[in-house]
Structure 1
Amino acid sequence: IFLSLLLLFLCCLSPATAGKVLVIPMEGSHWLSLKKVLTELNKKGHEIVVMAPESKMLVDSSGTYEMKTYPVPFKKEEIEESLHTISETVFSNDPFLTRFMNTWNNFKKGSAMLQTACRFLLYNKELMKYIEESKFDVIFTDPLTPCGQIIALNFSIPTVFFLRGLPCAVDIQAAHAPDPPSYVPRLFSQNTDHMTFSQRVKNFLISLSETFTCDMVFSGFESLASDFLQKPMTIKQLLSHGSVWLKRADFVFDYPMPVMPNMIFIGGINLKNRFAFHKLGTSCHQPPTWPLLSGQCFFLSVLSIRAA
């Protein structure tokens, strides 16, 4: 009887088939990590189409995927300058308020450029017709530019997000995960998950400021999404429809926090080579901007490492 039931069950199974994947990428280092995934998807037989602006920095053509481009009113040099300015500001040793305001202003300028590119994609009738007719199975995108999610909602396509994180913990809140400011340190606060009362107050005030600063940064995308989808839409409502969140993070390096079941941590994907421990020792390093875990030094168990 058992064998008969097993055979009946096996007859009901169908073989897995490759799917059609639409990729709406993000420039810079975001693309370098995502490109590795596209290579693996191609090996599994998936059909991949990447849509990117004609003016692009690192996003390139490949035999791994089909590239489709659309015109935008800015040049490659403008993208490079924007990304360079943002990275310099984030990792500077300026006082908190100076670093916060500079980062916010630079991110707002960069966001305006992303919004422009998104508008030119959404209102490209030829590409929108192509997406509708191609019947994609999934959209693979970085939610830092939620253009992919706008397209996904318009054509009712599931979305897989590929990200490191979003400003103001928008990703955590959009996924409806708990985000208590009394425990989870805010960006630039230099706090740890073990805070004194004054540090918790500081952390709480930063979280309040995020409410209006990030609303102003993402407001352009919200207006764009509302106009295109013909209904009011906030950035959190927009991203809350994501099916899976692939986060390039790991609790070895980040603060432990509550997460939702559809958040999958793939921090190791950024590792290029494997290493074997050759000589063990201990060194201590404490990042000036983002202290780790309890705020103590991060101990590396390696004095010298050789490639495996």
Structure 2
Amino acid sequence: MTQNYKVVTHPVTQTLEELDNAFREFVTVLLTDKPFPLNAIQAYQVSVEFFSTFFGQCKDLFHSQETLRFLNQSGFDAILTDPFFMCGAILAHHLSLPVVFFMRGLPCNLHFSAPQSPSPLSYIPRTFSFNSDHMTFFQRVENALISLLELDYCNGLYGEALKLSSEVLQRDVSLTDLLNSAAVSIMRFDFVFEYPRPVMPNMVFIGGVNCAKEKPLPKVQNSGFFYIEKAKI
């Protein structure tokens, strides 16, 4: 079998234990049931720490001149990346390459707002509202307030990414600048299981791609079918 890819590694400063601990703390806080707005505040705090820990690998990438030289000289046609940590998006701008996003979603509704896909507040609940698409008047007010705070929220969450991208690209960069240039966004969820909403034509939904291989259904005795049919009659 011909190998069609090459794995290139670069040195990082974080240990695997540090990454594991950051991830466990992040999941623990998100799964702890707390009332609003305490749940949103704690989720924000742990998210900033989580992002800062994992984004250190991106800083290490841009500090590795050997790796950057290899990427510049390889003549790639495009970059395929999950933009959650923004590193691939920053790298695509740095190398002036088209970028394809492969993702489940982004905080602050960025995967819809960056490409200017409408997100009606009347029936599209924001993440930390924990509402459904059937909201009361006051829940819609809460939804609107959360949406107003999202920009500041994500600017704080992705502060280190914005700082690094401005240094690398030598200009002021916003989150929208990093994310709105995707040629295609491959979304790892099924549109029919989400809230109904308008989407942009370059969004492709491939829900189920991450699911484990299904197991065959157990065989059922014929007598069981006869019994069920009789019960229905």
TM-score, length basis structure 2: 0.87
- Corresponding residue for residue 9 of structure 1: none
Of 81, 105, 110, 2:21 maps to 81
Q: Which amino acid aligns with 1:257?
A: R
- Corresponding residue for residue 271 of structure 1: 211
Of 109, 118, 140, 2:49 maps to 109
Between Structure 1 and Structure 2, which shows a larger proportion of strand residues? 1
CA distance in 2, matches of 1:174, 1:188: 19
Paired residue secondary structure (1:200):
helix
CA distance in 2, matches of 1:252, 1:171: 17
Shift of 1:147: 1.1
Q: In the TM superposition, what are the counterparts of 1:43-122 in structure 2 within 5 Å?
A: 47-48=4-5, 66-122=6-62
Q: Which amino acid aligns with 2:108?
A: C
Q: Which amino acid aligns with 1:242?
A: A
CA distance in 2, matches of 1:277, 1:209: 47
The reply to whether residue 216 of structure 1 matches residue 173 of structure 2 is no
Q: In the TM superposition, what are the counterparts of 1:170-249 in structure 2 within 5 Å?
A: 170-249=110-189
Q: Which amino acid aligns with 1:76?
A: L
CA distance in 2, matches of 1:138, 1:241: 12
CA distance in 2, matches of 1:185, 1:141: 27
Shift of 1:278: 6.4
CA distance in 1, matches of 2:17, 2:3: 33
**CA deviation map 1:114-165 (0-9, x unaligned):** 3322111112111111011110122111101111111111212111111111
TM-score, length basis structure 1: 0.67
* Greater length-normalized contact order (CA 8 Å, ≥ 6 residues apart): 2
Supply the RMSD in Å over aligned alpha carbons: 1.9
CA distance in 2, matches of 1:46, 1:188: 44
The answer as to whether partners of 2:22 and 2:53 remain within 8 angstroms in 1 is no
The answer as to whether partners of 2:14 and 2:56 remain within 8 angstroms in 1 is no
CA distance in 2, matches of 1:251, 1:88: 28
Shift of 1:46: 8.0
Of 82-91 and 226-235, deviating more is 82-91
CA distance in 2, matches of 1:133, 1:165: 31
- Corresponding residue for residue 289 of structure 1: none
**CA deviation map 1:166-216 (0-9, x unaligned):** 111011111111122222101131212221211100111111222211111
Shift of 1:276: 5.9
CA distance in 1, matches of 2:24, 2:185: 27
CA distance in 1, matches of 2:104, 2:145: 24
The answer as to whether partners of 2:11 and 2:64 remain within 8 angstroms in 1 is no
The reply to whether residue 132 of structure 1 matches residue 72 of structure 2 is yes
The 1:132–1:105 alpha-carbon spacing in structure 2 relative to 1, beyond 3 Å, is same
Q: List runs of 5+ in structure 2 lacking aligned partners.
A: 220-233
Between Structure 1 and Structure 2, which shows a larger proportion of helix residues? 2
CA distance in 2, matches of 1:251, 1:46: 34
Of 228, 245, 255, 2:195 maps to 255
Paired residue secondary structure (2:105):
coil
CA distance in 2, matches of 1:205, 1:198: 11
Q: In the TM superposition, what are the counterparts of 1:275-290 in structure 2 within 5 Å?
A: none
CA distance in 2, matches of 1:237, 1:47: 32
